[in-house]
Every structure is written in C-alpha cells, then in structure tokens.
Amino acid sequence: MQHQVAIIQKYLEVGHTQMEGDCVHSAIERKLKNRLIHLPSDYLWVTKEARKNPCEYETVMVDYTFFKKYSAPETWRYTSIRPGRKAGDPKVNDIRAIFYDNTGLIKFKLDFDSDWDSFPQRVNKIAIIREYASLHRNRIPITYQKYKHLQELKSVIPLDCHSFYDSLPHNEH
C-alpha cells in the first residue's frame, strides 16, 4: 500500500510442485556434499558458491533482529483468510492464489481459472504500518543440555570456531 503496488501470490497445486527454487536447492545440496560445516556462516558461503554463472547467489546472514512481529492482531486487515465460514466450506489450504491490491483489499482464487473472490470477513481499517516491532529482544537461548552437548563437540571442531559455541546464550541447568 505504501508503495502503491499490487501483488499476486500463487500457491502450487498438489502434484505440480516443480518450481524455479528447486534448482537452487539442488545446487546448494550438491555443493554441500563432502563439505565440513562448523558454523552457521559456513552455510552462507556454500550457498554463495553454489552458482558461479551468471553470478553467485545473493546471500544475507540474518540474526534475531531480522524477525518482526507480524502476529500482532492490531496489524491485521483480516482476522482470517479462510474463504468459507462454516463446515464444508473451502479452507485456507484450498486457496490457489491471493491478490493484494494497493488499497489493502485482499481477494482469492480457489483455482487459477476462476475470478477473484472477496473474503467473507470484514476488512479492519488500519493505518499503513511502516515498521513492525521486533519479534525478539535478544538472542534466543538454547537449553542447557544442548549447550553442554555442543561444548562436548568442540573436541572435533577447529579451535577458531570455539568462541561461537562458547558465546551461545543458554538456560542455566
């Protein structure tokens, strides 16, 4: 809405799941074979190197600050995107495409050849949200047991990777 752009989001039909992203995952899996992974950032480099031509894949290392709180009800235009209201009516997983227009209205299709339909729910009038709140205030701690097990694995991990494992936030006992 802020940029006056309309978006069509399409969902794959069962049995027709080949898509452009499949070749990306395949290239990354091939590059991962026989590679040692000691740190999460190692996946970043493997992903980058999985394609050379026409250029490397673009990668971004994210941390807890990347994730936003989209689940806050006060930010929702619709309380549900279920296309029906009662038992036997279509469900969310029956949707094949969603159209987001630049005014905030959302429409759907249950098959690609049908016309766009409006959701049966009323639209909540909300202001354009320019910035969502962060989902997390700090790094998410792991359990003490997982932390302990990772510490034990340091005996087979290069010394220069140990500080990453030492700095993992964890619960006490």
β-strand pairing of 117-118 with 106-109: antiparallel
The rounded Cα 56 to chain-centroid distance in angstroms is: 21
Give strand pairing partners of 134: 68
Helices 40-49 and 20-32 meet at what angle, rounded to 10? Answer: 120
The ranges assigned to domains in the chain are: 141-173
- Which pLDDT band, with edges at 50, 70 and 90, does 144 fall under? very high
Percentage of the chain with pLDDT > 90? 71
Length, in residues, of the chain = 173
Q: What is the pLDDT of residue 126?
A: 83
Rg of the chain in Å (alpha carbons) = 22
pTM, full prediction: 0.73
Q: What is the pLDDT of residues 18-44, one digit of tens each?
A: 666 788 999 999 999 999 999 999 999
Q: What is the pLDDT of residue 129?
A: 82
Q: What is the pLDDT of residue 125?
A: 85
Q: What is the pLDDT of residue 145?
A: 97
Q: What is the pLDDT of residues 86-134, one digit of tens each?
A: 899 999 999 999 999 988 889 999 999 999 999 888 888 888 788 899 9
- Which pLDDT band, with edges at 50, 70 and 90, does 2 fall under? confident
- Which pLDDT band, with edges at 50, 70 and 90, does 151 fall under? very high
Q: What is the pLDDT of residues 152-161, one digit of tens each?
A: 999 999 999 9
